[in-house]
Amino acid sequence: MSTESVKDRVIIFDTTLRDGEQSPGASMNVAQKLQVALALRDLGVDVIELGFPVASQGDFEAVTTVAERIEGPILCALARANREDIDRTWEALRSAARRRLHVFIATSPLHREYKLKMNQQEVVRRAVEAIGYARERFEDVQFSAEDAARTEPEFLAEVAERAIEAGATTINIPDTVGYTVPSQYSSLIAYLRRHVRGIERVVLSVHCHNDLGLAVANSLAAVAEGARQVECTINGIGERAGNCALEEVVMALRTRHDFFGVRTAVRTERLYPTSRLLSNVTGLQVQRNKAVVGQNAFAHEAGIHQHGMLMHPGTYEIMRPEDVGFSGSHLVLGKHSGRHVLRQRMKDLGYQLDATQLDKLFEEFKRLADRKKEVFDADLEVLIQGYINPGESSSWKLETLSCVSGVGTVPTASVCLEHTDGRKLRDAACGDGPVDAVFKAIERITGQQVRLCSYQVTSVTDGEDAQGHVSLEVETGLQRFQGRGVNTDIITASAQAFLDALNRAARITVPASVSKPVIPSISASA
């Protein structure tokens, strides 16, 4: 894309599959990453950052697989400023029709002294050499000055200018630790636009973290000062408090076009389905009052608000629900519905299923429809979990469960689990309550001992036949894992959620203490 064409256009650079996946508990396998990448393509993002190929063999394979399957957006991957990383990234992206290398090095005094052990001249030299080497294979090279927001403006301008001279086509100015405030960040962008020679030839990008809750505000302030690429993630997931939320920045630019005067290519009606898909894949729940895509984003309970809405929707809504993918009506699904309507509804929700996945889902759908009068979208979204990533290894499935509990009775649970290798194991345990007894029985069978960190029960839909949704988090060693389960029986849903978390934990074959030193700067990158 020429710089001329982006004067009134903001490029949306989605890093859900890279920086977003670094959010604790949000790791995805290849099948899940492919589903999210397909959704991002349909959403209309300009650039998809697929991962960090040198981080692990699994990340390399995920980037390679998705790069082979996705067409349309620019496909990007991250590399540190060294030849090994750049070579590995080239191997992972070489099959992509449109590819970009994202190379970074830290520039702030804190990082230079304590992490890199380099002075300013050494940082500049490393950046220039890496960009020059990258341009031998990539026409599109993005350079990021990690922790740019805490870098001396004069030195940051020097690094950016030298990066442009070396061949970088995009210059990214990250607020890596979410430290700046909007006025400070916009001033930095304005400073760079005034003092960096050649900056008009490249795209100026921003990447903001949400440690102070200012990621979206800082990104918008930068756009107002001339930045024309925003790096963001669906639902704002990412390191620590997360990244700039894609849905929020996109709808802010659309809703306040009168102020910003720029546009994006995002198909905003796909925002809500994409948000729900990611939540389902990662197990990370979207808070009810989340802007744009939260359950309460277009809900009104106060009498004054309801009266205003009856008179005119614009009294209390600055966006139409339909513009972000919400619908005022639901397609009613029940026990008489067939595969065709189910396939279409899942497609509307953002899922692309093959025949085998659809057949499995249809069986579960029919079983649920026999217990419920109506099956709603939320019911379908929890049913799909497990069918978008078939063939997982080291996984257990709940076969049978029975509990005894009551006043004056010691709660006990009897559980039978089936392993993917065909084994069926049974055990029983006592606990402080029926759920505790079930969890202890499952731990005895699987041999996995974990600490329960959080446990929450919510209703998926309304009515007496509503399904109960259990979300929990367990800790094993230094890592935490999310688990979800849904059933009309809360005890069964709890068992499913606990197993989901244990299965996620079992799939992590390399301990964090072994893998992290390989990529010492990944947690703070960009």
How far apart CA 234 and CA 15 sit, in angstroms, is: 8
Strand extents, DSSP E, 119-215: 141-146, 170-175, 203-208
Identify whether the C-beta of residue 126 lies closer than 8 Å to the C-beta of residue 166.
no
User: How far does the chain reach from its first CA to its final CA, in angstroms?
Assistant: 22
The answer to whether 324 and 293 are in contact (CB under 8 A) is yes
Q: Is 289 annotated as a binding residue?
A: no
487 annotated ligand-binding residue: no
Q: Which two tokens stand for residue 378?
A: 């939320």
Q: Which residue in 370, 3, 353 sits closest to 203, CA to CA?
A: 3
Per-residue b/e over 153-178, b at no fewer than 16 CB within 10 Å? eebbbbbbbbbbebbbbbbbbbbbbb
Three-state SS for 181?
coil
d(C-alpha 151, C-alpha 405), whole Å: 61
- Tell me the C-alpha to C-alpha distance, in Å, between residue 524 and each of 209, 235, 239: 10, 20, 8
Measured CA to CA, the distance from residue 284 to residue 298 in angstroms comes to: 21
How many of the other CB atoms lie within 10 Å of CB of 240? 15
Confirm if 152 and 123 have CB atoms less than 8 A apart. no
User: By three-state DSSP, how is residue 429 classified?
Assistant: strand
Tell me, what amino acid is at 57?
Q
117: which DSSP letter? -
209 is in an annotated binding site: yes
Please tell me the distance from the alpha carbon of residue 497 to that of residue 86, in angstroms, as a whole number.
40
Question: What letter represents residue 475's amino acid?
Answer: E
Q: Give the C-alpha separation, 176 to 33, whole Å.
A: 24
Q: How many CB atoms lie within 10 A of CB 61?
A: 16
DSSP symbols for 198-234: TGGGSEEEEEEB-TTS-HHHHHHHHHHTT--EEEEBG
Residue 195 marked as a ligand binder: no
In the DSSP assignment, the letter for residue 287 is: P
CA gap 124, 108 in Å, rounded: 12
Which residues define the annotated binding site? Answer: 19, 207, 209, 243
Which residues define the annotated binding site for Mn(2+)? Answer: 19, 207, 209, 243
